[in-house]
Amino acid sequence: MAGFVLAAPLFDLAQLTTLLGRVKSGEASFVEKRRIEMLDRTLESSGRLSFRAPDSFTRETLRPSHEKLEVNGNVLTMSSGDRSRTLQLDSSPETAVVIEAIRGTLTGNRDTLERFFATTVSGSAERWTLDLVPHDLRLRGQVASVRVLGHESAVHEVQVLLADGDRSTMTIAPLPGGATP
């Protein structure tokens, strides 16, 4: 008589967003390397990230210059030096798609992720990868894909591939004494 092998259940988007949704806020540092094909060079920046469920996200770049991107609900505020600009996130779909990839993942917002993206989850709860491809063809002409890598309920890396070949990789590390997004 042949033995039966029980397959382990697949780790899917529902399980991943449940795991991520347990973390209600977090702070971390980031280092981003952005490859600009037209310039044939890589630019590096670093700073801090924070989020608070359900819909607040802040990215504060400290190096090479101070810039801040803050999202609360549908309101996006971008600051650089003494200049500040506020806009409705839904008025800039190209910006919204990248913001929602990061914010939706950090907060475990399955509805948001499924509204904006075709999603593919691979790995396990211990080590996972979330691939996001925008549903909207026009947006896909700008942002080809976003890949998020994590460990348990923590996001460790966000890779954004733009349609023109430019790409960025943001590595995320917990701040001492802080929660990890």
pLDDT (tens digit per residue) in 65-82: 999 999 999 999 999 988
**Whole-prediction pTM value?**
0.89
pLDDT tens-digit profile of 153-179? Answer: 999 999 999 999 999 999 999 887 554
pLDDT for res 181 = 45
Distances (CA, A) of 123 to 15, 75, 101, 132, 143: 12, 34, 19, 15, 24
What is the residue type of 29?
S
Q: Which CATH class is domain 13-174?
A: mainly beta
pLDDT for res 160 = 96
- Helix, coil or strand: residue 146: strand
pLDDT for res 8 = 55
pLDDT at 5 over 70: no
In this structure, the chain runs to a length of 181
Closest CA to 117 of 149, 143, 92, 90: 143
Pick the residue with more confidence: 10 or 106?
Answer: 106
Distances (CA, A) of 105 to 23, 49, 51: 11, 13, 11
Supply the mean pLDDT for the chain.
91
Strands 128-134 and 67-72: unpaired
pLDDT for res 180 = 45
pLDDT for res 37 = 86
Strands 128-134 and 117-123: antiparallel
Output the 3-class SS for 148-173: EEEECCEEEEEEEEECCCCEEEEEEE
Give, in degrees to the nearest 5, the angle at Cα 161 between 157 and 167. Answer: 80
Average pLDDT value for residue range 86-105: 92
Pick the residue with more confidence: 176 or 22?
Answer: 22
